[in-house]
A and B are shown apart, each in its own frame.
Chain A
């Protein structure tokens, strides 16, 4: 039992090494991309045709199937960035920094998507494109934090320094979001309460819920496959001096593949 545990941990740690991570990412990302497209198409179809319309909001509620997954991912990706920042600062895991770098712009895009769909949804429901409510404010600040993170990334030229500086900034931002959320919550909240939570029975009928869960899965897998794709390129760019990268590049150039990595092979 203990040996098995040890073995499992060893395997997990070995995936944190750039070489194994590269192999893992290359193997997994086509499958994940495929699966996410299947989930997204089933989810979109179900969201538009199969789910019954809401008795209060009519068909307008269907934007939820894009809004909720993107809002969920925008927060989730920031948490992942913060966890990666911790891993990098404490254990100097190189992969963690690469994942954080690749995630940031994706997270910013999801945040923008959540804000936009929220505004489009809010206009007919609340009669305003924008209100300064707890969730909207914290989502907006989250967007600014993402942008600040990206600016900081591009401002620091040395890669090691930028990794450290950005990790610290990400952790400082992590404390920020819940405080904003709860401090606005006291005075004015218009936003409807959470519909899916772990602690209570969902307030949504199953026929509405399952398309949402499918969309969530699809969005999540799409994010993971994007991160894998981007981190492969980033890995090759950063580790271009390493032996295994040279081998990979030689192989890909010997079978007449175009060298798309932007790396000069010596």
Chain B
């Protein structure tokens, strides 16, 4: 009899999801382009006065761009699965749903946030960000985007299949994104002013661990609760 272990299943599904990302690469490339455009439109709107932009401004522009591009990419995560009835099949299968949610979050992060990390040094250069800030900026973006991805996937799961879910998603998720943004920016401000960054960095890490631990479980529950009598 054919038996599928969880580990084997996870690997297969991960591979499949990555293949889907590569197959529908235009969807994701649009997100990266959007990030580039948002940040450069800020630069353009400064009207050549980018030199007057303080480091704090530059950092917050980049962070807002990151948040917006992640928000834009979220509606694709579960929608096609829901539309094609794949989510219902997962529900009736013996696979742990938390594993599925975890994989979805990871793949979403790899497809949206990881490329941004390569774009950020370029944009930081354009915005005139001091070079010493770059490692800290990349670190906060790396940790922060993982929180954003996890929270965002939970949010999309909540309203998957609703009409005009895209607009609603922004309204629901932006308030939930504020803590991450605040902690990351306060870490960076501490870094700019030469103060200690340990406090806010620690809390950012706490938030990160918390979301990584609980989002798969919560996501599985949302899937069960919301899809069973949808």
Using CB atoms and an 8 Å cutoff, list the residues of chain A in contact with chain B.
Answer: 89, 137, 141, 144-145, 147-148, 151-152, 155-156, 158, 160-161, 164-165, 168-169, 172-173, 176, 179-180, 183-184, 186-187
CB-contacts of B171-201 with A (<8 A): 171-172, 174-176, 178-179, 182-183, 186, 189, 199-200
Q: Which A residues lie within 8 Å of B207 (CB)? A: 179
Least Cβ–Cβ distance between B209 and chain A, in angstroms? 14
Q: Which B residues lie within 8 Å of A180 (CB)? A: 178-179, 182
Instruction: Please give me the residue from chain A that is nearest to B162 by CB atom.
Output: A155
On whether the beta carbons of B230 and A186 are closer than 8 Å, the reply is: no
Of B168, B183, B226, the residue contacting A161 (CB under 8 A) is: B226
On whether the beta carbons of A148 and B230 are closer than 8 Å, the reply is: no
A-B CB contact pairs (8 Å), 27 listed: A137-B178, A147-B171, A148-B171, A151-B171, A152-B159, A152-B168, A155-B159, A155-B163, A158-B229, A161-B230, A165-B158, A168-B158, A168-B218, A168-B222, A168-B225, A172-B154, A173-B175, A173-B176, A176-B175, A176-B176, A176-B178, A179-B203, A183-B182, A183-B183, A183-B186, A187-B186, A187-B189
Q: Which B residues lie within 8 Å of A176 (CB)? A: 175-176, 178-179
On whether the beta carbons of B183 and A148 are closer than 8 Å, the reply is: no
Q: Which A residues lie within 8 Å of B229 (CB)? A: 158, 160-161
On whether the beta carbons of A172 and B178 are closer than 8 Å, the reply is: no
Of A156, A172, A186, the residue contacting B176 (CB under 8 A) is: A172
Least Cβ–Cβ distance between A173 and chain B, in angstroms? 7
Q: Which B residues lie within 8 Å of A158 (CB)? A: 229-230
Complex Cα distance, B157 from A161, in Å, reads 13
On whether the beta carbons of B200 and A165 are closer than 8 Å, the reply is: no
Complex Cα distance, B53 from A196, in Å, reads 42
Interface residues of chain A: helix, strand, loop or mixed (majority): helix
Instruction: Please give me the residue from chain B that is nearest to A89 by CB atom.
Output: B225
Q: Which B residues lie within 8 Å of A155 (CB)? A: 159, 162-164, 168
On whether the beta carbons of A186 and B199 are closer than 8 Å, the reply is: yes
Least Cβ–Cβ distance between A174 and chain B, in angstroms? 11
Q: Which A residues lie within 8 Å of B176 (CB)? A: 172-173, 176
Least Cβ–Cβ distance between B165 and chain A, in angstroms? 8
Q: Which B residues lie within 8 Å of A151 (CB)? A: 168, 171-172
Given A176-B178, A176-B179, A183–B203 Cβ distance below 8 Å?
Answer: yes
Complex Cα distance, B175 from A151, in Å, reads 14
On whether the beta carbons of B174 and A164 are closer than 8 Å, the reply is: no
On whether the beta carbons of B186 and A186 are closer than 8 Å, the reply is: yes
Complex Cα distance, B15 from A243, in Å, reads 56
Least Cβ–Cβ distance between B118 and chain A, in angstroms? 28
Least Cβ–Cβ distance between B11 and chain A, in angstroms? 30
On whether the beta carbons of A156 and B162 are closer than 8 Å, the reply is: yes
Complex Cα distance, B229 from A152, in Å, reads 17
Complex Cα distance, B165 from A151, in Å, reads 11
On whether the beta carbons of A144 and B158 are closer than 8 Å, the reply is: no
Given A161-B230, A165-B158, A168-B222, A186–B200 Cβ distance below 8 Å?
Answer: yes
Least Cβ–Cβ distance between B217 and chain A, in angstroms? 13
Complex Cα distance, B151 from A176, in Å, reads 11
Nearest 5 pairs between A and B by C-beta? Answer: A179-B179, A183-B182, A144-B175, A148-B172, A148-B171
Q: Which B residues lie within 8 Å of A172 (CB)? A: 151, 154, 176
On whether the beta carbons of B225 and A164 are closer than 8 Å, the reply is: yes
Least Cβ–Cβ distance between A165 and chain B, in angstroms? 5
Q: Which B residues lie within 8 Å of A141 (CB)? A: 175, 178
Of B154, B174, B186, B222, the residue contacting A144 (CB under 8 A) is: B174
Given A158-B230, A160-B229, A165-B226, A183–B200 Cβ distance below 8 Å?
Answer: yes
Q: Which B residues lie within 8 Å of A186 (CB)? A: 186, 199-200
Q: Which A residues lie within 8 Å of B182 (CB)? A: 180, 183-184
CB-contacts of B123-171 with A (<8 A): 151, 154, 158-159, 162-164, 168, 171
Complex Cα distance, B159 from A151, in Å, reads 12
Complex Cα distance, B211 from A51, in Å, reads 48
Instruction: Please give me the residue from chain B that is nearest to A183 by CB atom.
Output: B182
Complex Cα distance, B225 from A164, in Å, reads 7
Given A155-B168, A187-B189, A145–B226 Cβ distance below 8 Å?
Answer: no
Q: Which B residues lie within 8 Å of A89 (CB)? A: 225
Q: Which A residues lie within 8 Å of B218 (CB)? A: 168
**A89, A141, A161, A183: residue with the most chain B Cβ atoms closer than 10 Å:** A183
Q: Which A residues lie within 8 Å of B159 (CB)? A: 152, 155-156, 165
Given A155-B159, A156-B162, A183–B179 Cβ distance below 8 Å?
Answer: yes
